[in-house]
Amino acid sequence: MSKRALVIEDNELVRETLKALLEFLNFEVITAENGEIALEKFVSQLNSNNFFDVILVDLVMPGMSGKEVIQELKKYDPNVNALISSGYFNDSSIVEYEKLGFKGVLNKPYTLEELKEVLKKLNLI
């Protein structure tokens, strides 16, 4: 059974590239272009007893921020494996990611090897 990932990213090119990388690593991937859509998809999957092994969240998006998204997701699943995916290296959220409920950080742009390393730390590959 393959692992499942939810990619929450407002930039279509980044979203589709990350989807392709995860599929290359044998993940089943669902994408969302903003936090609101991500919450709908997350809850819908949860209600069908389909859980995500990892969620990659862009920190800065129109509408709900990555921080707001993780707070909402944790209401449904306190043990969610969420990673920050961001190009904002100096954001305080990057430094304090664990306090916010994230399990790791991917600084954009990142390579397949960097993605694999973070996923290995979560025992997902």
What per-residue confidence (pLDDT) applies to 117? Answer: 96
Nearest to 42 by CA among 84, 16, 77: 77
> Percentage of residues in the chain with pLDDT exceeding 90?
70
In this predicted structure, what is the pLDDT of residue 93?
A: 58
DSSP string, 84-111: EEES-TT-HHHHTTTTTT-SEEEESS--
Q: Would you state the pLDDT for residue 21?
A: 96
pLDDT for 92: 62
Q: For 101, left (φ over 0), alpha (ψ -120 to 50), or beta?
A: left
CATH of the domain at 52: 3.40.50.2300
Q: What is the pLDDT of residue 23?
A: 97
Its pTM stands at 0.91
Cα angle for residues 56, 28, 99 (degrees, 5° grid): 20
Give me the pLDDT at residue 102, please. Answer: 86
DSSP 3-state of 65: coil
Query: Which domain range does residue 50 map to?
Result: 3-121
Q: Which helix (H) or strand (E) holds 41?
A: helix 35-47
pLDDT band, residue 105 (cuts 50/70/90) = confident
Contacts 24+ apart (CB under 8 A), 75-79: 76/42, 76/43, 76/46, 77/46, 77/51
pLDDT tens per residue across span 6-35: 999 999 999 999 999 999 999 999 999 999
Phi, psi of 101 (to 5 degrees): 100, 5
| pLDDT tens digits, 47-100 | 999 999 999 999 888 999 888 999 999 999 998 999 988 876 665 656 677 777
What's the domain count of the chain?
Answer: 1
